[in-house]
Structure 1
Amino acid sequence: MAGKPKLHYTKGRGKMESIRWLLAAAGVEFEEDFIETKEDLEKLRNDGSLLFQQVPMVEMDGMKMVQTRAILSYIAAKHNLYGKDLKERAWIDMYVEGTTDLMGMIMYLPFQTAEVKEKNLALIIERAKNRYFPVYEKALKDHGHDYLVGNKLSWADIHLLEAILMAEECQADILSAFPLLQAFKGRISNIPTIKKFLQPGSQRKPPMDEKSVARVRAIFNF
């Protein structure tokens, strides 16, 4: 029997968090080997574990997988969360790229100066309300299904819920003009595996604080 996937990253969210979300939603238990110092990262680099000298890295199915998108695609396909055909996969990819763009903007906020952070926070809220969330609201309205693609839970739904919760950390009422997304949030949050991941004590990571920002800066030299 294959062992549990092992995730190599810092204790923070970063690019690994979407991988944690997808594994948890698929009901896959995983282990984490945290990178806590610059030396931990160098050890992974020096022993040949990191194909491009970068993390996230996930050990699963006999592979040491790197590149976030490749890891996520593999997990989604393996656990039947990637649509039934190429067209559905294309829609899932488009929706995921949109939420990735939005989450990327949020992800880098803690590393910015107060002045830049204030400006970018306003931009994130504006983009969420006017560029990204209207797309998902319209998709749910147009097809009348509970999920974004194929009326079946997919990677796109899991990624969107993660993005919604991150956006709500920026502005609590950010979904006020999107009733279908509010309902979507409730439905997807109550899927048993996801509900478990959202409970205290799970492997979901909290927002970055000053201490975790300092740790990441020290590990990655920025």
Structure 2
Amino acid sequence: MVSGGWTEQLDMSGKPVLHYFMGRGRAEAIRILLGAAGVEFEEKFYKTKEEYDKLVQSGDLLFQQVPMLEIDGMKLVQTRAILSYIAGKYNLYGADLKERACIDMYVEGAVDLAALVLSYFFLPECDKEKQRNLMKERAWKRYFPVYNKALEGKEFLVGNKLSWADVYLLDDILQLEEFHPDILEKFANLQAFKKRMQEIPTIKKFLQPGGQRQPMADDVYISTVKKLVFS
């Protein structure tokens, strides 16, 4: 057990438990990676200020922020720390240090692109159209050309084996398509990649209706986050 309370022992026989709000946000990448790994998990959604304040006051959140994932006797926080643990545990983090470094680079690019989507929902209405256009511009000019080239003649980004970089990129693509259905029209390799990824049984199961993928943020989700986190 690590000192500080944030890794107190849990029921090792239980499923991982993801703590977040009832929406995508920073937790969606964790959901889809667990799904891709074929891991069944439960979720604890925070809907009231009292519930969330109780979690913060418990000391379980190292930096007083969600998401938090209870797994393997730990209470992990910080999204990328959670994701890298899942990736390492379920063999989605490359074969050696060089592959891991490449995976990290591709993930960081996908994180930057995802940030444009995450911030969109909390912008003033007058700035949203500009942000929508920026998503497409950055995808087309900065990020997608890199991923499209990396996938030339390959099924996956690194080592020709599924990694968390592939899963994160797929999540980016799916979310961007909700704003711009033509987002992949210039990128044949990414179109083929998306199709392959969606046919992987564990990912297909996660994405199907009734699965644990959350819908696009709505007014209820946005107001909940603002009330619980920013008030």
Counterpart secondary structure, 2:151: helix
Deviations 1:51-92 (A, max 9, x none): 111111111100010011110000000000000000000010
Residue 113 of structure 1 deviates from its aligned partner by 1.3
Unaligned runs of 5+ in 1: none
1:215 alignment counterpart: 224
Residue 214 of structure 1 deviates from its aligned partner by 1.2
1:203 alignment counterpart: 212
2:142 alignment counterpart: 131
Deviations 1:117-161 (A, max 9, x none): 1111111110001100000001111xx110100011110111110
2:71 partner letter: M
2:40 alignment counterpart: 29
How does 1:93-172 map onto structure 2 within 5 Å?
A: 93-141=104-152, 144-172=153-181
2:195 alignment counterpart: 186
Residue 115 of structure 1 deviates from its aligned partner by 1.6
Counterpart secondary structure, 2:88: helix
Q: Structure 2 residue aligned with 1:5, among 4, 7, 16?
A: 16
1:34 partner letter: F
Counterpart secondary structure, 1:111: coil
Q: Distance in 2 between matches of 1:52 and 1:221?
A: 15
1:154 partner letter: S
How does 1:51-90 map onto structure 2 within 5 Å?
A: 51-90=62-101
Deviations 1:22-78 (A, max 9, x none): 001000000001111111111111112111111111111000100111100000000
Q: Note if contact 2:67-2:77 (Cα within 8 Å) is conserved in structure 1.
A: yes
Unaligned runs of 5+ in 2: 1-11
Residue 215 of structure 1 deviates from its aligned partner by 1.6
Q: Distance in 2 between matches of 1:16 and 1:161?
A: 15
Residue 221 of structure 1 deviates from its aligned partner by 2.1
Counterpart secondary structure, 1:108: helix
1:46 alignment counterpart: 57
Under a length normalisation based on structure 2, what TM-score does the superposition of the two structures give?
A: 0.93
Q: Which moved more, 1:109-118 or 1:180-189?
A: 109-118
Between the aligned residues of both structures, percent identity stands at 61
Q: Note if contact 2:107-2:169 (Cα within 8 Å) is conserved in structure 1.
A: yes
Q: Note if contact 2:103-2:163 (Cα within 8 Å) is conserved in structure 1.
A: yes
Q: Which moved more, 1:206-215 or 1:74-83?
A: 206-215
Runs of 4+ in 1 over 2 A off after TM superposition: none
Residue 211 of structure 1 deviates from its aligned partner by 2.0
Q: Note if contact 2:21-2:221 (Cα within 8 Å) is conserved in structure 1.
A: no
Q: Distance in 1 between matches of 2:192 and 2:211?
A: 24
